[in-house]
């Protein structure tokens, strides 16, 4: 093989290529960027280390970065999420063959171990020759969840300390693996990460978790390079969360259970953007939706949108379907689950699997767990004459586990933000640019006018036609004809 990569099975590339072709049609934002920047090649010279679910949609993202001039190495940011055929197709490339791959090095396959996962994370920085000359390594990170960024920061930290510490007793298993990965690295090259970090112009990050880590690093003075928070672009957060979930929640429930949603009582825990999309989707299927909330403003929104707002305790025995959307923890407890109706369906589209107390459920003495099919389990309570509930995806994100996650069109919006942020930061990071508008080693959100640009790129595909302000109208409103049109605090 002509370059270093590892995927499950490269022979899958043709199936992946068909899917990529169809996905391109649903990702008008990325395709418009390819067209707009075909000549200019704004990412020429960029060497991007990418860590993001290696799906069909990500394949379109990767090939867009390449089309804009970048060199790319890629890993997934989740041990389960790789679609092998997509990975294969990206490796082979649109014009290559399995024997002569001409695509991008991808280090990802479905069902990695933790050790494999952190090995792949390290591989996206292992550009040929980088150990000898850091300038041959990555100069940009595109991150989802912050693992790639974490690896660099921890690597630099431990290299400065001269040693990797031992894991403490209370450290999670995964942290142990990270330490081991870096310990091995340190033994191979004690200045590797310091060198890599020196060349990095910045990172673009698209998750709440990753962004929180970045803000914390910045606050603590530990941030090593500029960062753009893509997560809080309107075209990322509102769209991804609300419209993505509106699609993928019913999709997941239907695929998992084939249960008629119409006429059922659905309890949605949380009425943030995810909860709003979830509630709208299930109401659109004829369910009666009850919302639980802790935030009085969101609760008032739910009431004004016509939903009953109640506490879970009060309605736990009425619901047929329970969905967490909060980002919090212990939203649905084991006691709650015991009080539910027979065959109630429980799932999570919020964040981590601790929104539902799966550990508490499993700990009930005598409880029986039956796998109906993969990612769909019936939990039969003891001493109840067979009363049971159905838990989807073991409490993890059901829209990923029971369906296929966000549709391409939604990802086009998120990924167009990523690409634009990469262009911005590659050009104007203070590490390589000294203009007044250089990005310092801080965390930025994308300028609103670029957020608007992402929206603009998607309108035509929907047949939506935008009205243009006249100069006179723009002056009256005190805005530029080309935008941005709203003050920073505008809530959409």
Query: Residue positions in the annotated binding site for substrate?
Result: 55, 144, 206, 236, 240
Assess 423 for contact with a second copy (CB under 8 A).
no
Question: Closest approach of Cβ 460 to a second copy, in Å?
Answer: 10
Out of 6, 10, 13, 19, the residue judged to bind a second copy by CB under 8 A = 19
Considering beta carbons, is residue 125 or 409 the nearer one to a second copy?
409
Listed ranges 140-148, 322-330, 356-364, 423-431: which one lies at the site for a second copy (CB under 8 A)? 322-330
Q: CB of 409 within 8 A of CB of 239?
A: no
Q: b vs e for 60-83, b when ≥16 Cβ sit within 10 Å of the residue's Cβ? A: bbbbbbbbbbbbbbbbbbbbebbb
Phi, psi of 92 (to 5 degrees): -70, -40
Beta strands 321-324; 308-309: pairing state: unpaired
Asked if 469 is part of the footprint of a second copy (rule: CB under 8 A), the reply reads yes
**Closer to a second copy at the Cβ: 102 or 311?**
311
Q: How far is the CB of 398 from a second copy (least distance, A)?
A: 14
Asked whether 355 and 333 are in contact (CB, 8 A), the reply is no
Q: Rank residues 25 and 44 by Cβ distance to a second copy and give the closer one.
A: 25
Closer by beta carbon to a second copy, 318 or else 441: 318
Q: Rounded to an integer, what is the distance from CA 340 to the centroid of its chain?
A: 32
- Told to check if 22 binds a second copy by CB under 8 A, we report yes
Pick one of 3, 80, 175, 476: the residue that binds a second copy (CB under 8 A).
476
Size of the site for a second copy (CB under 8 A): 104
Choose the binding region for a second copy from 43-51, 131-139, 176-184, 482-490 (rule: CB under 8 A). 482-490
Cβ 289 vs Cβ 279: under 8 Å: yes
Please count the residues of the chain.
492
Give the nearer residue to a second copy in terms of CB position, either 128 or 262: 262
- Select the span of 18-26, 102-110, 132-140, 194-202 touching a second copy (CB under 8 A): 18-26
If binding is defined by CB under 8 A, does position 81 make contact with a second copy? no
Give CA–CA dist 111/488, Å, rounded: 42
Q: According to CB under 8 A, which one of 13, 34, 47, 453 is a site residue for a second copy?
A: 453
**Shorter beta-carbon distance to a second copy: residue 193 or 271:** 271
Q: Residue holding tokens 């407890």?
A: 333
When the beta carbons of 39 and 472 are compared against a second copy, the nearer one is 472
Interaction between residue 86 and a second copy (CB under 8 A)? no
CA angle 433, 222, 415 (to 5 degrees): 60
Give the 3-state secondary structure percentages of the chain, helix then strand then coil, rounded to 5: 45, 15, 40
Contact range with a second copy by CB under 8 A, out of 121-129, 144-152, 193-201, 253-261:
253-261
Report angle CA 396, 79, 126 to the nearest 5 degrees: 150
Helix (H) or strand (E) segment spanning residue 143: strand 140-143
Question: With contact defined as beta carbons under 8 Å apart, do 283 and 305 qualify?
Answer: no
What are the helix (H) ranges across 189-262? 192-199, 208-220, 234-238, 244-257
Structure tokens at 244: 């993505």
159 near a second copy, rule: CB under 8 A: no
Strand partners, 72: 48
Outline where 316-404 has alpha helix (H).
Answer: 334-339, 358-362, 398-401
163 binds a second copy (CB under 8 A): no
Q: x/- string (CB under 8 A) for a second copy, residues 187-226?
A: ----------------------------------------
Q: Which of residues 256-295 bind a second copy (CB under 8 A)?
A: 257-265, 273, 280-281, 283-289, 292-295
Interface with a second copy includes 442 (CB under 8 A)?
no
Report the binding-site residues for NAD(+).
207-209, 241, 270-275, 293, 399
């Amino acid at each position: 093989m002509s370059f270093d990569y590892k995927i499950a099975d490269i022979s899958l590339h043709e199936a992946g290529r068909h899917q990529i072709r169809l996905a391109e049609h649903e990702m008008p934002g990325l395709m418009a960027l390819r067209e707009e920047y075909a000549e200019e090649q704004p990412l020429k010279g960029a060497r991007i280390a990418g860590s993001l679910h290696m799906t069909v949609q990500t394949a379109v993202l990767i090939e867009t970065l390449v089309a804009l001039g970048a060199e790319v190495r890629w890993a997934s940011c989740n041990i389960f999420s790789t679609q092998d055929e997509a990975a294969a197709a990206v490796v082979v490339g649109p014009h290559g063959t399995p024997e002569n791959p001409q695509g991008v090095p991808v280090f990802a396959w479905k069902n990695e171990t933790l050790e494999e996962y952190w090995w792949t994370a390290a591989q996206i920085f292992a550009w040929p020759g980088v150990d000898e000359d850091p300038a041959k390594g990555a100069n940009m990170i595109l991150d989802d969840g912050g693992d790639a960024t974490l690896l660099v920061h921890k690597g630099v930290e431990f290299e400065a300390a001269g040693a990797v510490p031992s894991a403490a007793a209370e450290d999670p298993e995964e942290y142990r693996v990270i330490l081991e990965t870096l310990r091995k690295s340190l033994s191979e090259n004690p200045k590797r990460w310091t060198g890599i970090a020196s060349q990095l112009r910045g990172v673009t990050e698209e998750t709440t978790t990753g962004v929180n880590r970045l803000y914390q690093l910045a606050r603590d003075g530990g941030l090593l390079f500029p960062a753009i928070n893509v997560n809080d672009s309107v075209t990322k957060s509102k769209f991804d969360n609300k419209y993505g979930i509106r699609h993928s929640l019913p999709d997941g429930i239907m695929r998992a259970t084939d249960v008629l949603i119409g006429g059922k009582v659905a309890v949605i825990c949380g009425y943030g953007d995810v909860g709003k999309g979830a509630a709208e989707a299930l109401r659109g299927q004829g369910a009666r939706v009850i919302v639980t909330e802790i935030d009085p403003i969101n609760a008032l929104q739910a009431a004004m949108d016509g939903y009953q707002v109640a506490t879970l305790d009060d309605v736990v025995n009425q619901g047929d379907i329970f969905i967490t959307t909060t980002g919090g923890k212990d939203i649905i407890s084991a006691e709650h689950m015991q009080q539910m109706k027979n065959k109630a369906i429980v799932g999570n589209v919020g964040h981590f699997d601790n929104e539902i107390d799966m550990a508490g459920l499993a700990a009930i003495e005598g409880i029986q767990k039956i796998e109906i099919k993969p990612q769909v389990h019936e939990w039969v309570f003891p001493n109840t004459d067979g009363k049971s509930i159905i838990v989807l995806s073991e409490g993890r994100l059901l829209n990923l586990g029971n369906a296929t996650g966000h549709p391409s069109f939604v990802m086009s919006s998120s990924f167009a933000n990523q690409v634009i942020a990469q262009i911005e930061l590659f050009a104007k990071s203070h590490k390589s640019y000294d203009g007044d508008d250089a990005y310092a080693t801080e965390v930025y959100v994308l300028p609103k006018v670029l957020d608007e640009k992402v929206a603009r790129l998607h309108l035509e595909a929907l047949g939506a036609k935008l009205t243009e302000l006249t100069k006179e109208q723009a002056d009256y409103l005190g805005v530029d004809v080309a935008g941005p049109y709203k003050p920073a605090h505008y809530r959409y």
